[in-house]
Structure 1
Amino acid sequence: MRTASRRFVGTAALVLVAASAVVAAPAEAGKRTVTTTVYDSFGSASEYSARWVNSFGPGEMAVEDTRVHDGSTFSVSALPFRTGADFSVFDHIKYLAVSTQQFPVPEKGSVTFSVTIDARTVGTEPGGRVIHGVYGPPGCADDPDCAATSEPWQGLALEGQQAGATLHMIDFRTGQLFDWFVSGSTAFALIERLPATVTGSPDGGTRDTMYTQIVKEVPITPGPHRVSMTFFRDAGSSYVDYVLDGRRVARVGKVGVPLDVQRVAYTGIYPSIGPGEALGDQVDSLAIGHGLFSLLDAFPFQHPDAPELSVSVPMSERLFGQGAAARFDDMVVTVDDRG
């Protein structure tokens, strides 16, 4: 555990001076336009409520609303986590705010989301924590009769899976997501396609196309840190870049196809159960998300089409004193249209 004491300075504030600033710079007249927008400088609660919505409920804020606006940053904390759910992905979301605006993806070009995050965690095990459960339906692990007749399960959760602050790039239509998890001493890049049962879209993932995989974990020093993700596409081909403090940590190509299916090296969390689907020509708009998360479950997170893989985790293993706090600054969107 650690406590961040460094003064929080938003990196983007050095070059971007207003929350509503928009700069369009044609790199080649009539063919390429780069537009940079400060979506939120987190200056006030009223601006925040206009730009963000808690689509998946209040999460930890239903227990204690810890959101703070200090005039230049936004802070939220849950120290420790006190809410949990043994159902689908709903244990993961401790706090999630989704942008009220979606950003069109150029037919040829990219969209980049970036933000400064200062994260602090308590109760986590940096080297990883073994989580225990049983194979069975939701609630089985906390039902003595069900648990006694079920096969045991265990899995290793990285520090960021135990508790972390997040940046999300989301296409709610296809369910394709790109995520940064920033924790006390590590950060990791994640790529996933959520199923239709979570997104509510008929174009979301199915048993064959959904996946969640942690691409790469890296050590970090006490924050703040600038994280960003860029989704690029051109003529059906696509990739996503994950950048930490100006350095590219990972690039994933063939967005929509799991890494193990592509035979690309990754952390091994979590193996896919289907071939996926190339989505380069289907991801047409992207929303931003930020928040506090845990990720302790076994994939595919009790999906109804994969009952034989369903794992139930007891509440004692979901809430073990861990928690996270984060301060966010300068949420910036860059659209590079190379049409």
Structure 2
Amino acid sequence: MTSALGTNAWTYDDFTSGELDPGRWRIMSMPGADGLVHPYRDRNARVRTGNGCLELTVHPFTRFHDSDPRQNNAKHMYRSVQRFGAPEQGSLTFRVTMGVRTYGQIPYDLLDAFGTVNLFDLDSGIVLNAAATNDTLYAVVERLVLPGVTRPDEHYIHRVVLDVATEPGRVHDYAITYRAASSDVEFQVDGRPAYWTRIPVPVTGFTAGMALFSARNPARYTRAQREHGQGATGRWGPWRVTTGVT
């Protein structure tokens, strides 16, 4: 049995200000296949913050591309300015509430329109997302292909539907815990374990994010099948971070 030698918990952002704090959040951006840096920003985005919540609505989505997923999938995304280090012997936990309401979403399609709680590490390509549509909650565990970091054959993505009932706009409490010594990851929803996995490479820390997505594969679906007037609203509550050393 191990015992905790120290725990540090704090609120990263409680969203009490009338404007999103630029010292805590900025628009995510990545180089595209064309070599240019593309911000994950949709021209239809409407943002409100205050009273303990960030609310983001994009309706309809307008950020689409026919070949480059980096210019297509994320419609509007914020990333934390801070990167949060993971204790070598202990745990790193992120807690945040999220409610997602989609508009015109294809029922039970995980990729047509959805909102996310994001954790990612660009040093390893590891991504951990909690995702929600009008009708489904699911976990995403992925290793991205990043030049100079990962090879195409190291890429993988798992989407695991969680056994948690939901409905449009319903707020759930999400917690994602990473333990560096074992590379274990645990997802909790509403205080109950929902999914466990082990990632293939060590991670020394994560950046947090919040986003709205539409990510149907351009190679499988026509533009009309991917861009049909759908949109979404996401509401994220305070972000709380806890580190524990054992």
TM range (shorter): 0.7 to 0.9
Structure 2 partner of 1:188: 138
Structure 2 partner of 1:329: 237
Could you tell me how far 1:292 is from its partner in structure 2? 0.6
Match of 1:44 among 17, 23, 26: 17
SS of the equivalent of 2:161 reads strand
Structure 1 partner of 2:174: 227
Structure 2 partner of 1:123: 104
Q: Which moved more, 1:238-247 or 1:210-219?
A: 210-219
Match of 1:59 among 38, 41, 58: 41
Q: Which of the pair is proportionally richer in strand?
A: 2
Write the distance in 1 (CA, Å) between the matches of 2:146 and 2:50: 38
Match of 1:98 among 76, 79, 96: 79
Could you tell me how far 1:313 is from its partner in structure 2? 4.1
Amino acid at match of 1:42: F
In the alignment, is residue 79 of structure 1 matched against residue 59 of structure 2?
A: yes
Write the distance in 2 (CA, Å) between the matches of 1:118 and 1:53: 21
Could you tell me how far 1:71 is from its partner in structure 2? 3.4
Deviations 1:172-230 (A, max 9, x none): 11110100111112110010011114xxxx22x21221111102344533311111211
Q: Which moved more, 1:99-108 or 1:37-46?
A: 37-46
Could you tell me how far 1:312 is from its partner in structure 2? 6.3
Write the distance in 2 (CA, Å) between the matches of 1:252 and 1:98: 24
Write the distance in 1 (CA, Å) between the matches of 2:164 and 2:20: 34
2:63–2:71 CA contact under 8 A, matched in 1: no
Match of 1:216 among 154, 161, 183: 161
SS of the equivalent of 1:208 reads helix
Structure 1 partner of 2:121: 171
SS of the equivalent of 2:69 reads coil
Q: Which moved more, 1:323-332 or 1:209-218?
A: 209-218
Structure 1 partner of 2:32: none
SS of the equivalent of 1:100 reads strand
Could you tell me how far 1:55 is from its partner in structure 2? 2.4
Write the distance in 1 (CA, Å) between the matches of 2:28 and 2:54: 18
- Any residues of structure 2 matched to 1:99-114 within 5 Å, and which? 99-114=80-95
Deviations 1:22-60 (A, max 9, x none): xxxxx96xx621111111111114552220011221521
Write the distance in 1 (CA, Å) between the matches of 2:139 and 2:107: 16
Could you tell me how far 1:90 is from its partner in structure 2? 2.7
Match of 1:238 among 183, 193, 209: 183
- Cα 1:49–1:71 change in 2 (3 A) is farther
2:136–2:161 CA contact under 8 A, matched in 1: no
Q: Which of the pair is proportionally richer in helix?
A: 1
Write the distance in 1 (CA, Å) between the matches of 2:136 and 2:221: 24
- Cα 1:45–1:54 change in 2 (3 A) is farther
Amino acid at match of 2:139: A
2:44–2:60 CA contact under 8 A, matched in 1: no
Write the distance in 2 (CA, Å) between the matches of 1:288 and 1:84: 24
Higher Cα Rg, which structure? 1
Could you tell me how far 1:121 is from its partner in structure 2? 0.7
Write the distance in 1 (CA, Å) between the matches of 2:178 and 2:40: 28
TM-score normalised according to structure 2 size? 0.88
- Cα 1:245–1:77 change in 2 (3 A) is same
- Shift >6 Å, 4+ stretches: none
Structure 1 partner of 2:213: 293
2:180–2:204 CA contact under 8 A, matched in 1: no
Matched residues, percent identical?
Answer: 25
Structure 2 partner of 1:284: 204
Structure 2 partner of 1:266: none
Write the distance in 1 (CA, Å) between the matches of 2:193 and 2:212: 23
Write the distance in 1 (CA, Å) between the matches of 2:132 and 2:44: 22
